[in-house]
Amino acid sequence: MGKKILVATGGGDCPGLNAVIRGIVKRAAQEPDMKVYGCVESFNGILRDEIDIRRLTESDVAGIHVQGGTIIKTTNKGGPFHFPVRQPDGSWTVEDRSQLMKQRFDEMGFDAIINIGGDGSQRISLELAKLGFNVVGVPKTIDNDLACTDFTFGFQTAVEIATEAFDKLVTTASSHNRVFIMEVMGRDAGWIALNTAIAGGAEVCIIPEIPYDPRIIANKIASRYQNNYGFCNIVIAEGAKALDGKVTGAAPTAVGDQHIKLGGVGEKLKAELEAIGLEHDIRVTVLGHLQRGGTPIAYDRVLATEFGVKAVELIKEEKYGNMVVYNHPKISYVSLEKALESPNFVKPATSDLVRTARGVGISFGDR
Ligand code: F6P
């Protein structure tokens, strides 16, 4: 029997979203009477007063696997259960539009949803599944913080971008005898920082999972200069915490956004090092959204395509309420409940990556 599938991309964008969409559309085209529709700007396309849902055919997705971003747009605000609504007095409230979504979904004859997104989006997938929607989740995020999968797509591209930037900072740091602090994304997970530090040959790597002591970092920097290296490169994750356990950032300002805006910990560390008395010229570079933009590397194009094809296969087999995952070398699936049980953070005590980093002399600012 044919199936009508609604595809949404939710949360922050990342390289590989279009490759997933292409994989979905091309695989669905091999089934008799399976049709794919894009819900524009995550679920806003079906929730807004003016519905915005677009048919996606093979010609619509031709060649898009090399493009960054998402052709059906995304948002990390709101959603079916917290839809932002402006009041006559100009203020905003949120309302639950999930029943409206179900009504419209049924009226338009949809059978299933593929929701491509990170932990926030997959929590929405789970809630939708509980309401009776046939949902399959696809894990996306540069942060790599979703459990049950070796990697989320987008992550390897972010690491590549960060490493390329880091390599450039190393040459200028060594020319000027400077200390460079490069701040990378990742929210509460240190995966981007840790991989970049090892790939780039950093002296110091600060991640959220290992609280840092600035005095230990200052000693590491001092020893670099005493040993005549004359420069030092530090990677710090945006969610890094000093011994007080506090993250650096600002409260969300956009309506419907529940996340603290992380950022500024690189400058904070610089100030801490200067307060300790470090006299070297310290410069901070914040990579920001560069890590989320542009062309996905080949690895992410492959993973994203595998995820897209598998999502359609799960729908064909009516294996709903699941999220596709990658456990080398297999692409399979786990229940949404299982996928969301706990996040995927670096586990310092058992991590081979942390052991490797320490093995090549990288300091985490903890000992
Ligand atoms: O989750 C992906 C991510 O890029 C995080 O690494 C970062 O903290 C956050 O999104 C930034 O979100 P926004 O684009 O809303 O500033």
Which residue in 83, 27, 92, 111 sits closest to 307, CA to CA? Answer: 27
Residue 104 pLDDT exceeds 80: yes
Residue 310 pLDDT exceeds 80: yes
Give per-residue pLDDT as tens, 121-179: 999 999 999 999 999 999 999 999 999 999 999 999 999 999 999 999 999 999 999 99
Residue 256 pLDDT exceeds 80: no
Give per-residue pLDDT as tens, 26-35: 999 999 999 9
Residues whose beta carbon lies within 6 Å of some atom of ligand 1: 12, 76, 118, 141-143, 185-187, 238, 261-262, 292
Q: Which of 64-73, 109-118, 257-266, 332-341 has the lowest mean pLDDT?
A: 257-266
Residue 1 pLDDT exceeds 70: no
Angle, alpha carbons 342-347-348 (nearest 5°):
160
What are the helix (H) ranges across the chain? Answer: 17-28, 44-47, 58-61, 98-107, 119-130, 155-176, 191-200, 214-226, 265-276, 298-316, 336-339, 352-359
352 contacts: CB under 8 Å, gap ≥ 6: none
Q: Active-site residues: which are they?
A: 143
Which structure tokens are listed for 74? 């995304």
* pTM of this structure: 0.97
C-alpha 70 – ligand 1 centre gap (Å)? 16
Pocket test for ligand 1, best of 123, 259, 262 (most atoms within 8 A of CB): 259
C-alpha 289 – ligand 1 centre gap (Å)? 8
Give per-residue pLDDT as tens, 195-220: 999 999 999 999 999 999 999 999 99
Q: What is the position in ligand 1's atom list of the atom closest to the CA of 192?
A: 6
pLDDT-derived band at 24 (thresholds 50, 70, 90) equals very high
C-alpha 162 – ligand 1 centre gap (Å)? 15
Q: What is the position in ligand 1's atom list of the atom closest to the CA of 239?
A: 8
Partners of 138 in the β-ladder? 116
Give per-residue burial for 47-85: e unless 16+ CB within 10 Å, then b: beeeeebeebeeebbeebbebbbbbbbbbbbbbbbbbbe
